């Protein structure tokens, strides 16, 4: 399993960097969609064989993370006629550096955690932590509502990868939990984004600043 | 019975969604509130309440939180028809079902004995409360809802992360795959320590976000400030209590593993920080509804601080959980009435509430005294218990800081509250709201409970709190 899973996880980490470095929102959404495909492949890789259950979860992951949500976000992008993240709180290069630092720290931290024999040497835990960290970074440092949703998605992807360490012990519970979470959360966020763009004719969250001390 | 506590509110929610009559829909709330309260009382009388093979079970902690949620919801449901009649211009087709669904999910959180099920229920409350906060549909309420959803979802995602860590700790220890709380508590000493520690930190941050502990509290002033008073009450009284219950379940596992000292330090630190943040932001607050949100941050701090101190402190914290929830009901509902009458939340525009609204103004003032821990109201007793626990258990510095924060809060909150209730009211606003029975009686009921519990804590409540405290603080 590790032979297939680890290269996929490396690609996942590279997509993280791509997402941190790009200013084009469409590219960001595509990155998020690519992560969805990677996660689906990982599900199959971790199950070790193409079982019915693994296939179903992989298909659901692709449908949701790579088709439904990206197309929803792309539509919101088109309606609001914006293309770029203009002024992030932290510039793109510093956030790339921070991402690199976070990934390094994830690896170090994961080493301090004792792993079950089947996961020793696997990249699952560090990749999970690094992806969640990337999500945090996007959430905290970008101003567009869409980027924040993508950040939340990346955070969820990190959690999903962590869940993969548990699939053998707790089949279904883990994946259904994560997917359920995502479906509803994104659904509700989608509705609110609609409202934001109707009310403010923009999806820039800096406009959402009348509430502060 | 265990199942009915969840199913009945769900059925009422479905009925409310299907019902075509805007005028009659709000009356489903008191109907459901009364049925839920009756079922809760019946359930508390039974020694064993469980369903679906142990997935749902009322344990000692669950009983306490269920009782307070049910009483608080009942009072809010009595208030709702009067309030919604004043807001007849706005459809309540989403509002009423969401409130009922919210109640169902609170019952589910309280009863859930499975890590995953509890997490799903907490997630569901976040989603159910988003339309409630968005009720007024103006720009500020969208902003508040967006922040609430985003920060809440991140918190929930972190809690799921922590849940997986905890599951991995169990897996690593070769404990099989049970994620039922009783199993985890029993097997806790064998859980892998590094994973357990990381899991607790993630869960603390995740569910602490839901509770609104500083520094994860930033959604709170916006959400509470923009939501209708009744929603503020349920968020600040019921939902935060359920999130605290979730935290306590993990604290229980950690203390069963013999690692309570680790969790306690974290809880004392965050507790003091929350109290400080609440106090500082209350002092310079010009919006009295946002001020209540900071008061909630402060009281959440008191709760985790009490548990952090341990022993008698846990008893004090659980008693305070009840007192805080009921007091918040008084404050949010009376502030809602004042807001309705003046059409403003700013302490610069709102003056003389005692003259204009004798009942709401007086209740708001009394609620302020109660929330800041003045005798003879109930929070005084529980806060005093926590101070005593701190002083007698070698946490004298913590106890001293606790008293200092309480003084800061009293002065800060007092300034704003007094400027609202005192003085000469400005000319009558356009709303023409006056206190009436429907929007005053429920607040009087809650105030009576706060006063009564401050003078005399009935033996059944003491027993309930005592059992819950012993249940939470298991010795390894």
A10-41 tens-digit pLDDT = 999 999 999 999 888 899 999 999 999 999 99
According to the model, what pLDDT value does residue A51 have? 81
According to the model, what pLDDT value does residue B408 have? 93
**Closest by CA position to B442, among listed B160, B31, B73, B151:** B73
Q: Do A208 and B120 touch (CB under 8 A)?
A: no
Q: Do B113 and B56 meet the contact criterion of CB atoms below 8 Å apart?
A: yes
According to the model, what pLDDT value does residue B302 have? 96
Average pLDDT by stretches of 10, chain B with 476 residues: 94 94 92 97 92 90 96 96 90 94 96 90 90 88 87 91 90 76 90 92 96 92 93 96 96 93 94 94 89 96 95 95 96 94 88 90 96 93 95 93 94 91 79 84 96 94 94 83
* Average pLDDT of the residues in A149-158: 90
Q: Do B177 and A139 touch (CB under 8 A)?
A: no
The DSSP output letter for A62 is I
A177 touches chain B (CB under 8 A): yes
Q: How many CB pairs below 8 Å do chains A and B form together?
A: 113
Residue whose structure tokens are 């809440």: B152
**Closest by CA position to B170, among listed B261, B257, B280:** B257
Residue A211 C-alpha, separation from nearest chain B C-alpha, in angstroms: 6
Lowest mean pLDDT among A72-81, A202-211, B13-22, B401-410: A202-211
The C-alpha atoms of residue B412 and residue B294 are separated, in whole angstroms, by 11
According to the model, what pLDDT value does residue A199 have? 67
Find the domain containing A85 and state its range: 2-201
Q: How many separate domains does chain B show?
A: 1
Report the 10 Å Cβ neighbour count for A64: 17
A205 touches chain B (CB under 8 A): yes
- The H or E element that residue B56 is part of is strand B56-57
Find the domain containing B256 and state its range: 4-472
A162 touches chain B (CB under 8 A): yes
Query: Which runs of consecutive H residues, i.e. helices, occur in B134-212?
Result: 139-172, 181-187, 193-211
Report the 10 Å Cβ neighbour count for B249: 23
A139 touches chain B (CB under 8 A): yes
HSE at residue B379, side-chain half, CA atoms within 13 A, is 26
A169 touches chain B (CB under 8 A): yes
For residue B350, with 0-12 CB atoms within 10 Å meaning exposed, 13-18 middle and 19 or more buried, which class applies? buried
Any domain includes A208: no
Q: Do A85 and A144 meet the contact criterion of CB atoms below 8 Å apart?
A: yes
According to the model, what pLDDT value does residue B343 have? 87
Cis ω before B346 (30° cut-off from 0)? no
Of the partner residues B123, B160, B221, the one whose CB lies closest to the CB of residue A159: B160
Which residues numbered 65-94 in A keep a CB inside 8 Å of some CB on B? none
Q: How many separate domains does chain A show?
A: 1
Q: Do A116 and B198 touch (CB under 8 A)?
A: no
Any domain includes A170: yes
Q: Do B168 and A166 touch (CB under 8 A)?
A: yes
The C-alpha atoms of residue B143 and residue A208 are separated, in whole angstroms, by 5
Report field, pTM of the whole predicted structure over 0.90? yes
A208 touches chain B (CB under 8 A): yes
The C-alpha atoms of residue A59 and residue A62 are separated, in whole angstroms, by 5
Question: In chain A, which residue's Cα lies nearest the Cα of B178?
Answer: A170
According to the model, what pLDDT value does residue B403 have? 95
| Set of chain B residues whose Cβ sits within 8 Å of the Cβ of A120 | none
Q: Do A184 and B123 touch (CB under 8 A)?
A: yes
Residue A39 C-alpha, separation from nearest chain B C-alpha, in angstroms: 16
Of the partner residues A116, A196, A213, the one whose CB lies closest to the CB of residue B146: A196
Top residue of A181, A191, A207 to mutate, by most chain B CBs within 10 Å, is A181
| Set of chain B residues whose Cβ sits within 8 Å of the Cβ of A200 | 139
Cβ-based neighbours of B105, under 8 Å, separated by 6 or more: B121, B122, B124, B125, B128
Q: Do A152 and B150 touch (CB under 8 A)?
A: yes
Question: Given a cut of 60, is residue A105 above it in pLDDT?
Answer: yes
| Set of chain B residues whose Cβ sits within 8 Å of the Cβ of A136 | 154
* Average pLDDT of the residues in A117-143: 89
Chain center to CA of A80:
23
Any domain includes A210: no
Cβ-based neighbours of A68, under 8 Å, separated by 6 or more: none
């Amino acid at each position: 399993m590790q032979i297939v899973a680890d290269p996929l996880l490396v690609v996942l980490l590279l997509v993280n960097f791509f997402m941190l470095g790009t200013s084009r929102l469409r590219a960001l959404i595509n990155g998020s969609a690519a992560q969805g495909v990677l996660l689906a492949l990982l599900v199959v890789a971790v199950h070790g064989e193409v079982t019915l259950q693994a296939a179903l979860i992989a298909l659901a992951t692709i449908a949701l993370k790579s088709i439904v949500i990206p197309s929803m976000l792309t539509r919101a992008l088109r309606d609001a006629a914006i293309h770029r993240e203009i002024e992030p709180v932290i510039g793109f290069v510093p956030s790339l550096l921070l991402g690199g630092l976070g990934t390094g720290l994830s690896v170090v931290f994961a080493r301090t955690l004792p792993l079950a024999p089947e996961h020793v040497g696997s990249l699952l835990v560090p990749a999970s932590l690094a992806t969640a960290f990337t999500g945090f970074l996007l959430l905290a440092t970008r101003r567009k509502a869409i980027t924040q949703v993508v950040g939340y998605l990346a955070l969820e992807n990190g959690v999903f990868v962590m869940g993969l360490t548990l699939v053998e012990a707790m089949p279904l519970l883990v994946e259904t939990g994560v997917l359920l979470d995502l479906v509803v959360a994104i659904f509700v966020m989608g509705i609110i984004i609609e409202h934001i763009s109707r009310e403010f004719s923009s999806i820039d969250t800096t406009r959402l600043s009348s509430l502060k001390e | 019975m265990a199942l009915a506590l969840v199913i009945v509110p769900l059925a009422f929610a479905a009925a409310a969604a299907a019902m075509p009559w805007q005028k009659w829909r709000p009356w489903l709330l008191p109907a459901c509130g009364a049925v839920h309260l009756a079922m809760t009382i019946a359930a508390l009388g039974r020694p064993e309440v469980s369903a679906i093979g142990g997935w749902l079970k009322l344990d000692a902690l669950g009983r306490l939180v269920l009782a307070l949620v049910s009483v608080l919801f009942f009072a809010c449901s009595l208030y709702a028809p009067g309030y919604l009649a004043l807001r007849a211009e706005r459809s309540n087709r989403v509002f009423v079902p969401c409130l009922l669904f919210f109640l169902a999910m609170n019952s589910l959180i309280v009863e859930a004995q499975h890590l995953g099920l509890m997490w799903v229920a907490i997630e569901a409350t976040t989603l159910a409360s988003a339309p409630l906060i968005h009720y007024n549909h103006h720009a500020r309420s969208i902003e508040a809802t967006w922040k609430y959803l985003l920060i809440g979802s991140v918190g929930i995602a972190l809690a799921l992360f922590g849940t997986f860590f905890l599951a991995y700790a169990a897996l690593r220890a070769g404990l099989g795959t049970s994620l039922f709380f009783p199993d985890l508590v029993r097997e806790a000493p064998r859980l892998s320590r590094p994973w357990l520690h990381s899991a607790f930190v993630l869960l603390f941050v995740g569910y602490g976000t839901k509770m609104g502990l500083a520094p994860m509290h930033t959604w709170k002033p916006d959400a509470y400030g923009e939501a209708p008073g009744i929603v503020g009450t349920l968020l600040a009284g019921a939902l935060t209590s359920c999130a605290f219950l979730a935290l306590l379940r993990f604290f229980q596992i950690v203390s069963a593993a013999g690692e309570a000292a680790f969790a306690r330090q974290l809880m004392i630190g965050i507790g003091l920080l929350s109290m400080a943040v609440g106090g500082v932001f209350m002092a310079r607050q010009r919006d009295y509804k946002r001020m209540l949100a900071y008061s909630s941050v402060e009281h959440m701090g008191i709760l985790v601080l009490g548990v952090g101190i341990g022993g008698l402190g846990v008893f004090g914290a659980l008693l305070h959980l009840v007192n805080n929830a009921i007091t918040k009901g008084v404050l949010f509902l009376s502030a809602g009435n004042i807001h309705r009458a003046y059409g403003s939340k700013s302490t610069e525009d709102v003056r003389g509430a005692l003259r204009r609204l004798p009942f709401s103004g007086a209740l708001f003032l009394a609620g302020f005294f109660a929330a800041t821990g003045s005798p003879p109201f109930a929070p005084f007793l529980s806060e005093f218990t926590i101070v005593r626990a701190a002083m007698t258990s070698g946490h004298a510095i913590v106890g001293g800081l606790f008293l200092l924060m309480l003084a800061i809060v009293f002065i800060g909150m007092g300034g704003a509250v007094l400027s609202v209730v005192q003085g000469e009211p400005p000319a009558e606003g356009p709303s023409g709201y006056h206190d009436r029975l429907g929007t005053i009686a429920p607040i009087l009921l809650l105030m009576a409970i706060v006063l009564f519990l401050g003078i005399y804590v009935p033996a059944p409540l003491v027993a309930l709190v005592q059992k819950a405290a012993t249940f939470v603080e298991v010795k390894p």
